[in-house]
């Protein structure tokens, strides 16, 4: 299946943001490990690796605006709903388990990993729906 221009631009943005994330994470980790940053600068450096992740969410938003194929856009919206529902549900259940001391603490940014796993589930659900309705 031919990829739309919007999809190609989305892919390029995600690749660029992933590479940026890798560089910033390695850099920030190195700086903190070698005690190179303190005070307000430490806050800035600690936040830097988060920015490309935030950018990935923005890239999805931009993609939804740019995608001219309405059906493909609907599929992506469905996927993001799956992702949000999946990540928020697990985070909520985990939060309560954690509150009652039954499980250990997990860093909140792990929700992003769950969200992307949910995006994959949404893609699977889209595929299964296509098969079930006899494409």
Partner 1 sequence: MNNRLKVLRAERNWSQGDLADRLGVSRQSVNAIETGRYDPSLPLAFKIAELFALPIETIFVSPSEETAQ
Two structure tokens written together for 129 = 């729906």
The single residue listed with the structure tokens 């999809």 is 7
State which residue, 19 or 74, has the beta carbon closest to partner 1: 74
Nearer to partner 1, 23 or 74 (CB): 74
Shortest Å, Cβ 12 to partner 1:
19
Of 40-48, 53-61, 117-125, 126-134, the window that binds partner 1 (rule: CB under 8 A) is 126-134
- Alpha-carbon span 48 to 2, nearest angstrom: 35
Residue 119 beta carbon to partner 1: minimum distance, rounded to whole angstroms: 18
Closest approach of Cβ 5 to partner 1, in Å? 12
State the Cα–Cα distance between residues 67 and 80, nearest whole angstrom. 15
Rounded CA separation 88/84 (Å): 6
Near partner 1 by CB under 8 A: residue from 34, 35, 105, 133: 133
Between residue 71 and residue 100, which ones bind partner 1 under the rule CB under 8 A?
71-72, 74
The CA angle 18-21-26, to the nearest 5 degrees, is 130
Cβ proximity of 122 and 81 under 8 Å: yes
- Joined together, the tokens standing for residue 90 give 């697990």
Q: Which residues bind partner 1 (CB under 8 A)?
A: 1-2, 4, 68-72, 74, 129-130, 133-135
């Amino acid at each position: 299946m031919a990829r739309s221009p919007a999809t190609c631009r989305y892919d390029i943005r995600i690749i660029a943001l992933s590479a940026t994330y890798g560089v910033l994470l390695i850099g920030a980790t190195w700086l903190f490990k070698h005690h190179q940053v303190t005070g307000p600068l430490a806050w800035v450096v600690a936040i830097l690796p988060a920015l490309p992740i935030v950018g990935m969410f923005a890239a999805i938003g931009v993609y939804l605006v740019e995608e001219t194929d309405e059906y493909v856009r609907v599929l992506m919206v469905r996927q993001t709903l799956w992702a949000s529902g999946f990540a928020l549900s697990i985070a909520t259940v985990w939060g309560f388990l954690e509150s009652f001391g039954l499980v250990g603490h997990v860093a909140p940014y792990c929700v992003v990993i769950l969200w992307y796993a949910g995006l994959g589930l949404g893609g699977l659900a889209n595929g299964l729906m296509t098969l079930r309705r006899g494409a």
